[in-house]
């Protein structure tokens, strides 16, 4: 069996490609979102808090 | 022991420690997941009955296990938060809910994609599938309750109480396949006798399970760091932390 | 506050609806013995679960098919016309839903396959099958639901 043939076989998943690969796609997307969103949130929270802090400091000045 | 726990549960200490640990856990998780995927998709042989379609097991079963595990963690943390008034426990409980809901959603979707070719249907209202769907509603309930109540303390307590009550669903999910006639088959790995899955399939399955667990811990640490920051917006340690890292 | 009330009502309503639906289906299927004992209602739609009896599958015109289901003690004949799941085969666990007609024959509208909790490579399954055949005392086929 050639390299391409075995690759094609792998992606065909014995005729169940639709079900198998969609499962893996959905899992990948949901896990990636779970990982990325808290990162963005962390950056946003720190930026907002820093802004609040600067604002408060300016108000404290005479 | 108590002193250590107390120190770890203090927000600044947790924020620092979690930030240091999370990347390591993330890399280990990624490595195990790569090994599990390679073992499951490439190395493991096809199943004698289901052919290649059974390969969905390597994401379906870990998701389903995690959907229940995260709920138990969430309920446990809620109980700790209610009894001992440890703020960090409440953060852990609340921040666990969206992750648990994600795993529940994945278990339902991948199970559905597996059910269509093998059982002949995307969905049936049998006890296993229905109780797992109720689990998703319970997660939504915890998240919705927390988001909907204005006062943060009341919101935390209400959501925590809801989470604790909902824990009765967990044994129902697990034993549903034994208590009732279901379309879903019985447990494979967790039954008391030897697991009825060939070792070439069991190894990647367990690798995926461990990596999903590490994924949860990594994401939870990230989320809890955000939660701790948001709640401590007026605390001295947040001020000094931000002052130190501001470029000005 | 209105939002909270709406939310709690919504979740409660959804959950109770689901539990009600589940209550009806708690016993997801009847076994052939239960049907023989007259425990299943005739005239309304029911589900029957059992193993497809070896040699009982007869294909008719087009998608028409008839077969017998057994739980080891009793059998029920089933007629069906439609698409079968990939796992459908003799000896496989099947759940057929439909109406029992006068001759206690199930006219199925849907046929679902139930698989067991065992996963192994085909060669291992063959080896186990061979070992079972050589051991004369071993019963034929497993009777798991």
Instruction: For C127, name the nearest residue in chain B, comparing CA atoms only.
Output: B48
Mean pLDDT of B198-207: 92
Domain boundaries defined on chain C: 28-131
pTM, 2 dp: 0.85
Cross-strand bridge partners of residue C112: C95
B34-71: string of b/e by CB count within 10 Å (b at 16+)? ebbbebbbeebebbbbbbbbbbbbbbbbbbbbbbbbbb
**pLDDT reported for residue B192:** 53
CB contact under 8 A, A16 and B51: yes
Q: Given CB atoms, is A43 within the 8 Å cutoff of chain B?
A: no
ipTM of the complex: 0.89
Inter-chain contact C95–B180, Cβ cutoff 8 Å? no
Mean pLDDT (chain B, rounded): 88
At what angle are helices B199-231 and B57-84 packed, to 10 degrees? 40
Q: Residues C57-111: pLDDT tens digits?
A: 888 888 889 999 888 888 899 999 888 888 888 888 888 988 888 777 888 888 9
Distance CA C49, CA C69 (A): 7
When pLDDT is cut at 50, 70 and 90, the band that residue C56 belongs to is: confident
Q: Kindly tell me if the per-residue pLDDT of B125 is higher than 90.
A: no
Q: Is the dihedral of CA B29, B105, C26, B164 positive or negative?
A: positive
Return the axis-axis angle of helices B127-148 and B169-179, rounded to nearest 10°: 170
Confidence band of A50 (pLDDT split at 50, 70, 90): confident
Taking only the tens place, the pLDDT of each residue in B33-83 is 999 999 999 999 988 888 899 999 999 999 999 999 999 999 999 999 999
More confident residue, B219 or B230: B219
The mean pLDDT of A34-56, rounded to a whole number, is 88
Residues of B in contact with C39 (CB under 8 A): none
Give A35→chain B minimum CA distance, Å.
6
The Cβ-side half-sphere exposure at B248, using a 13 Å CA radius, reads 6
- Specify the number of domains making up chain B: 1
**Interatomic CA distance for residues C135 and C142, integer angstroms:** 14
Residue B181 has pLDDT above 60, yes or no: yes
β-partners of residue C93 are C51, C114
CA atoms within 13 A on the CB side of C117: 19
Strands C106-114 and C75-81: parallel
| B224 closest CA partner among B32, B73, B68, B30 | B73
Give tens-digit pLDDT for B2-29.
666 677 778 888 999 999 999 999 999 9
Between A44 and C20, the higher pLDDT residue: A44
Q: Is the pLDDT of residue C136 over 60?
A: no
Instruction: Find all residues with CB under 8 Å of C17, minimum gap 6, and list them.
Output: none
B2 domain-assigned:
no
Which pLDDT score is estimated for B147? 92
Option in A13, A42, A49 nearest B225 (CB): A42
Give yes or no for residue B198 having a pLDDT over 50. Answer: yes
- Which residues, 6+ apart, have CB-to-CB distance to B131 below 8 Å? B169, B172, B173, B176, C22
B117 and C114 within 8 Å at the Cβ level: the answer is: no
Please tell me if residue C124 touches chain B, with a CB cutoff of 8 Å. yes
The yes-or-no verdict on residue C143 having pLDDT over 50 is no
**A30/B242 CB distance under 8 A:** no
Q: A3 touching B, CB under 8 A?
A: no
CB-CB neighbors (< 8 A) of B102 in chain A: 30-31, 33-34
Domain C28-131 has CATH 2.40.50.140: yes
Residues of B in contact with A30 (CB under 8 A): 102, 105-106
Please give the residue range of the domain that contains residue B64.
23-43+56-186+199-231
Q: What is the pLDDT of residue B248?
A: 41
Which of the residues B40, B50, B56, B118 would you substitute to probe the A interface, choosing the one with the greatest number of A C-beta atoms within 10 Å? B56
- Give chain C's mean pLDDT: 77
Q: Which residue of C has its CA nearest to B202?
A: C119
A55 touches chain B (CB under 8 A): no
Of the pLDDT bands very low, low, confident and very high (cuts 50, 70, 90), residue B106 is: very high
CA dist C99 to A17, B196, C26, C63, C70, Å? 35, 36, 19, 19, 17
Strands (E), chain B: none
């Amino acid at each position: 069996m050639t390299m391409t043939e075995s690759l094609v076989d792998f992606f065909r998943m014995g005729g169940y490609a639709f079900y198998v690969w969609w499962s893996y796609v959905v899992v990948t997307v949901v896990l990636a979102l779970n990982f990325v969103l808290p990162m963005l949130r962390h950056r946003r929270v720190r930026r907002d808090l820093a802004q609040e802090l600067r604002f408060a400091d300016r108000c404290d000045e005479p | 022991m108590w002193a250590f726990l107390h120190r770890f549960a203090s927000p600044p200490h947790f924020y620092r420690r979690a930030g240091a640990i999370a990347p390591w856990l993330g890399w280990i998780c990624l490595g195990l997941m790569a090994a599990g995927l390679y073992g499951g998709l490439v190395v493991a042989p096809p199943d004698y009955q289901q052919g290649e379609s059974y390969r969905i097991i390597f994401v379906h079963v870990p998701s389903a296990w995690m959907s229940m595990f995260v709920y138990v963690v969430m309920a446990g943390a809620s109980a700790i938060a209610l009894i001992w008034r440890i703020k960090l426990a409440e953060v852990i409980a609340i921040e666990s809910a969206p992750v648990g809901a994600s795993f529940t959603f994945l278990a339902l979707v991948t199970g559905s994609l597996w059910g269509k070719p093998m059982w002949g249907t995307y969905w049936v209202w049998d006890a296993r599938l229905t109780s797992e769907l109720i689990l998703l509603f319970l997660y939504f309930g915890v998240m919705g309750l927390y988001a909907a109540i204005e006062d943060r303390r009341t919101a935390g307590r209400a959501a925590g109480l809801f989470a604790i009550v909902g824990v009765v669903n967990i044994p129902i999910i697990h034993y549903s396949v034994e208590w009732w006639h279901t379309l879903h088959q019985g447990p494979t790995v967790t039954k008391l006798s030897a697991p009825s899955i060939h070792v070439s399939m069991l190894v990647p399955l367990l690798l995926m399970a461990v990596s999903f667990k590490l994924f949860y811990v990594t994401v939870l640490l990230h989320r809890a760091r955000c939660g701790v920051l948001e709640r401590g917006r007026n605390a001295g340690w947040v001020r000094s932390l931000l002052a130190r890292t501001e470029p000005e | 506050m209105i939002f909270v009330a709406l939310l709690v009502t919504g979740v409660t309503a959804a959950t109770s609806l689901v539990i009600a639906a589940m209550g009806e289906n708690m016993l997801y299927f009847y076994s052939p013995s239960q049907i023989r004992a007259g425990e299943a209602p005739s005239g309304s739609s029911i589900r029957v679960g059992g193993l497809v009896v070896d040699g009982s599958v007869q294909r008719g015109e087009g998608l028409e098919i008839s077969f017998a289901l057994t739980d080891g003690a009793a059998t029920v004949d089933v007629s069906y016309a439609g698409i079968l799941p990939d796992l459908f085969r003799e000896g496989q666990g099947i759940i057929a839903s439909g109406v029992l007609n006068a001759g206690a024959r199930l006219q199925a509208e849907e046929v679902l396959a139930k698989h067991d909790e065992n996963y192994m490579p085909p060669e291992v399954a063959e080896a186990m099958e061979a070992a079972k055949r050589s051991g004369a005392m071993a019963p034929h086929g497993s009777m798991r639901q």
